[in-house]
Each structure stands twice: as C-alpha cells, then as structure tokens.
Amino acid sequence: MPIRWNTVYAELKRGWKLREATKHYVKGLSSGLTGKKFDAAVRKEERLSLSESDWGLIEVLILILEPFTAITLSFSRKGTPTFCIVVLYYKKIETELKNAEIAHKKCNAQLKVGFERAQAKLSKHLEIALTNKYIILGAVLHPAIRVAYFEQDDLWAPEVGVRARNILEDAYVEYAAKIRPTATGSTGKASGTAAVSPATSSTASLFSAALNIRRTATITQQESEVETYLRPDFFPHESEDGVF
C-alpha cells in the first residue's frame, strides 16, 4: 500500500532514534526460554532483526526524505498563504530528488524504483501547476520570486519564463485599465521615483534555498510598475520575511 513520505519519514526517524533499544529487545527475545517457546522466539528474532546494511539504508532514507518533510510542513503552516510558492517548492523537490538519485546511484533496486516513481508523479503535478496562470501569477507577484525566477535557464525552459512574463503583463494591462485609467499616460509610465531595497537575512531558510539565490540589487529609477516587477536584477530577496 502506498504510504505518504512524511509518514514514512516519521517512522524511520523514530526507528533510528530507538535502534539500540530495538537491537537489545530483539536479541533478548529467546533469553531464558526452552523448547517450543525458544524455537518460536528464535524465529521471531530472525524475522525482526536488522543487519547493519539495513540500518544504513534507513539512515539514507531519512536523509532523502528530510527535505520533503520540511516542505510539507511549510505548506501546512496556519495563516500563511502558500498559493504563490507552489511552483517554487515543486521545483525544490525536483532538485532534491535528482541530487539524491545522483548521490545514491549505487543504491538497491527498490530505492531506484522509488526515485523513478517519485520523479514521474512530481513531473505530472509540476506540469499541471505550470499550466495554471493563477499559480504563475501568484508567484511572479510575490516580491521575493518575481518573473526573474522563471527566467533562470538552469531551472526552467525558455518558454516558462516567457509565459510568466506574458501573464504578468496581461494582468497589469487588464487591472490598470479598470482601477487607474487616468493614473498614467499612454506609455504606461508612472509618476515619481521607485526606491526599493531588497530585504536581507543572515539565516538560511528553506524558502531562500528553494529560490536558489544569486543576486540582490537596489533599484532607484523612474519606471512603470510592471517594469519594476520585471527587472531581472531586482530578484530575489534572501528571505520571505519582511519582503512586503
């Protein structure tokens, strides 16, 4: 029966923590017994005992599943919108899976099958997310993500960045016409100067790791709102905390 990875992670983590107690318990099952009870206990010991390679595999699985559990918990936070980070974390999971598969390419056959199935399932959901314009719009309107995240050629195909930019521009044109029809001129230029500094954080987080941070900048230039959002050197912020 398929089991959720966070459930498996919790079971393995607890088992690893109690491994010495488990070994001691299994070894003592036949202690002080004789006859049929002794034979039954020995068979139980054989069935329950784990070799050192088994414990090594458990340790590997814990390391593999740890990032996925962290992402699951991040999506489960109360009072925190997660719609805008769906694609971001899907891509983070994909990267973690690929790195784990490379690191454990000599693993047993079952683990290899697990990698393949996980990749296939993730690819399906990532494709669905990328075809949803509201998920993309939610991401590009997040001050720490923006269009530039989707324009990283080492993460996404070129058409993904183009689609993200088009979705933002279309939304800007639609809502600018409805809400502020006279606030800008025919060129769409906004009056005044935009002065924005990215937030910084000394503490590495899951969010900043998923962003794959490379650069920050301070923009002080007269430009339209959509141009400000589209600037590639304005991405990204190092943390989601305080970016608004």
Return the pLDDT at 3: 58
- Residue type at 3? I
Which of 159, 126, 124, 144 has the alpha carbon at shortest distance from 84? 144
Per-residue confidence band for 176, with pLDDT thresholds at 50, 70 and 90: confident
DSSP code of 190?
P
Return the pLDDT at 21: 93
Return the pLDDT at 148: 87
Residue 44 placed within a domain: yes
Q: E strands, the chain, where? A: 194-196, 219-221
Per-residue pLDDT of 83-122, as tens digits, reads 888 999 999 999 888 888 888 877 778 888 888 888 898 9
Residue 48 placed within a domain: yes
Are 12 and 62 spatial neighbours (Cβ–Cβ below 8 Å)? yes
Q: Which of 105-114, 149-158, 191-200, 224-233 has the lowest mean pLDDT?
A: 191-200
Return the pLDDT at 239: 57
State phi, psi for 220 to the nearest 5 degrees.
-130, 95
Residue 179 placed within a domain: no
Per-residue pLDDT of 183-222, as tens digits, reads 444 444 444 433 334 444 433 467 777 766 444 444 444 5
Average pLDDT, the chain: 78
Range of the domain at 45: 1-78
- Specify the higher pLDDT residue, 176 or 166: 166
State phi, psi for 96 to the nearest 5 degrees.
-65, -40
Give the chain's length. Answer: 244
Buried b (16+ CB within 10 A) or exposed e, 30-58: beeeeeeeeeebeeeeeeeeeeeeeeebb
Percent of the chain with pLDDT over 90: 28
Residue 56 placed within a domain: yes
Residue 184 placed within a domain: no
Domain count, the chain: 1
Which of 189, 188, 211 has the alpha carbon at shortest distance from 201? 211
Which of 138, 168, 178, 167 has the alpha carbon at shortest distance from 229? 168
Return the pLDDT at 201: 41
Residue 105 placed within a domain: no
